[in-house]
Chain A
Amino acid sequence: MSEVLLQAWAVAKHFGGVKALRDVSLTIRRGEIYGLIGPNGAGKTTFFNCMTGLYVPDGGGFNFAGSPLVADASHQAAERGIARTFQNIRLFGNMTALENVMVGRHVRTKAGVLGAMFQNAATRAEEASIRQRAIDLLHYVRIEERADDLAKNLSYGDQRRLEIARALATEPQLLCLDEPAAGMNATETAELRDLIEGIRRDGTTILLIEHDVKLVMGLCDRVAVLDYGALVIEDVPAVVQKDQRVIEAYLGA
């Protein structure tokens, strides 16, 4: 078996009396596409937010690439190599597509105020490499035509792609996609599927939250199912699909 990239142990999160996550433990291996599914309100996004530091878990924690993730420091998650997209797309609307991706390079570059003021050679070189890398990434997700358009003026599908490009700009080891296919038609979903497979081929591990069961089952190497904040099963799609508890959770039997 390949190396463990992310390990969640007994992650718990309460909102008042609501137990959004009940001791969820799961393991993501390097190089796989890992699906996280479950009915609405099952705690998928909460799990995401705990992992990326937006929420502080009430119990448990995460190990990433061999060392623990610090809770409550969301900018550090990106630094460690975890990038994410959002269920309700969160782009920098009044910046161009290119600038959005350039912002993604922030964590891997280091020019400061003095560099900006004096425009020394190192700063100029870094700026050029940021721009070049951003252009390359726009090509990668195939929206280079829209580079100079404001992000808010992009079509829905392109916004999803731009968000992925921005996440990739941080050079993640683990890319977390929160319902990337939501609101997409069949053609767009198929294109997205190609994109995700391409990203994995290029060496990035992917955690995918998705409602589109067909997409998840076809794409993922392993799948975890959450229901009422608890882990139901974690296994390969073929097994998960036949699991009685999963069928019950989805059909509400």
Chain B
Amino acid sequence: MSKRLTPRSLFGIVLITVAMLGLPFVAAMGGQAWVRILDFAILYVFLALGLNIVVGFAGLLDLGYIAFYAVGAYVWALLASPHFGLHLPIWVILPIGAGLACFAGVLLGSPTLKLRGDYLAIVTLGFGEIVRIFMNNLNAPINITNGPQGITLIDPVAFGSFKFSGNTQFLGLTLSGPMKYYYLLVVLAIGVIVINLRLQNSRIGRAWQAIREDEVAAKAVGINTRNLKLLAFAMGASFGGIAGGVFAAMQGFVSPESFSLMESIMILAMVVLGGMGHIPGVILGAVLLSILPEALRYGVGPVQMALFGKMLVDPESLRMLVFGLALVLVMRFKPAGLWPSPERKREMSEMRQEVRP
């Protein structure tokens, strides 16, 4: 593991940094809507990498991941909106959101420890729906979640007096709300990427991988599979909770509609399509699956007008069609994902010389 940076990799890092910093300004040329799409792409990267811990590392098929996102979002919505008249700071809300989501993860994890594969998928799917239906119906007898109407006027992310909504002048540049959120989300995403990378090559990461490969053998070498599975659920859920909080703050509005089964499937598709367990693959999957549908939405209409002079197919329905087709094609021709992890060949040659007699 060489930690030294070659000039070439340094150049690459600088290039990527500049590109990441400049990206929202490029997107803003097409309107703030595109910056918002960018925001969501990064948010999905965050979510997908959270789910990657559960699905990619530990091999636990989770179809209810959106439930933790919902918990985080509702925690933020309830603690920072006029609904209860509470306006707590981010330092309080985000840990509570992550903590409650983590608790929900353990809650879901503990009864499902003996389940694997499709059985686990069904239970988690049910769990996701339960949480959504709870949010939908917790407006009576006591109004907690405001039911299907959702909660509005949620506070934006704010550090002291610096708010992430509205415009800010900075070095002569005008930063819009979505642009500021973009930078916040990039920082969060980098954090989750680093955590993913470090976990992967750690004692815990290897134990997860071992459980994924062969649970019986994992037990035989002394891995406490129960605790480690719970840990995977809890960690994945915490990241979901954080993402949910930022989502609520960014949108200023949450309703149960945002946490449908389709969202869970979408995030899982990002992980699977990109390359399960392979971090760059998951990032690619998340970016593609969040930007492509939007690009189609904006692109299909004008293209049809130009080609045929009239709208033949409604862009919205075409979007799902193309999306579904893309999924089928990828699974047929690249079943391991678009960017699966390469068979690792480490620099064993230099390692061999260090062996003690």
Contacts and interface: CB of A to CB of B under 8 A. Distances in A.
Interface of A: 52-54, 74-79, 83-84, 86, 90-96, 98-99, 102-107, 109-113, 115-117, 119, 123, 126-127, 130-132, 135-136, 139, 144, 147-148, 150, 166-167, 169-170
A75 B223 contact: yes
A91 B209 CA distance: 12
Interface residues of B, number: 35
B214 A92 contact: yes
B206 A99 contact: yes
Nearest to A111: B203
A78 B195 CA distance: 29
A79 B222 contact: yes
B344 A106 contact: no
A136 B221 CA distance: 18
Contacts of B348: 98, 147-148
B217 interface: yes
A110 B202 CA distance: 11
Given A52-B220, A136-B356, 18 more contacts: A54-B216, A79-B222, A84-B220, A86-B220, A90-B216, A90-B220, A91-B213, A91-B214, A92-B213, A98-B348, A103-B209, A105-B203, A106-B210, A107-B221, A117-B195, A127-B203, A148-B345, A148-B346
Nearest to A96: B344
Q: Which of B198, B202, B345, B352 has the most CB of A within 10 A?
A: B202
7 contacts: A74-B216, A74-B219, A83-B221, A105-B203, A106-B222, A115-B202, A147-B352
Contact of A116 (B199, B222, B224): B199
Nearest to A84: B220
A95 B346 CA distance: 12
A117 B195 CA distance: 6
Given A139-B355, A148-B344, A119 B198 contact: yes
Interface in B195-231: 195, 198-199, 202-207, 209-210, 213-214, 216-225, 231
Contacts of B223: 75, 103, 106-107
A132 B202 contact: no
Contact of A113 (B204, B221, B346, B351): B204
Given A106-B207, A148-B346, A150-B343, A113 B235 contact: yes
A91 to B, nearest CB: 7
4 shortest interchain CB distances as A-B pairs: A78-B222, A107-B222, A116-B202, A92-B213
Contacts of A104: 221
Contacts of A98: 346, 348
A103 B216 contact: no
Contact of A106 (B198, B221, B356): B221
Contact of B220 (A74, A95, A135): A74
B318 to A, nearest CB: 38
B222 A92 contact: no
Interface in B179-196: 195
A144 B356 CA distance: 13
Nearest to B207: A106
A83 B204 contact: no
Contacts of A99: 206, 209
Contact of A111 (B202, B209, B219, B355): B202
Q: Which of B221, B235, B346 has the most CB of A within 10 A?
A: B221
B185 to A, nearest CB: 20
B49 to A, nearest CB: 14
Nearest to B225: A75
A75 B219 contact: yes
A144 B351 CA distance: 10
Nearest to A115: B202
A63 B223 CA distance: 22
A162 to B, nearest CB: 12
A98 B201 CA distance: 13
B242 to A, nearest CB: 14
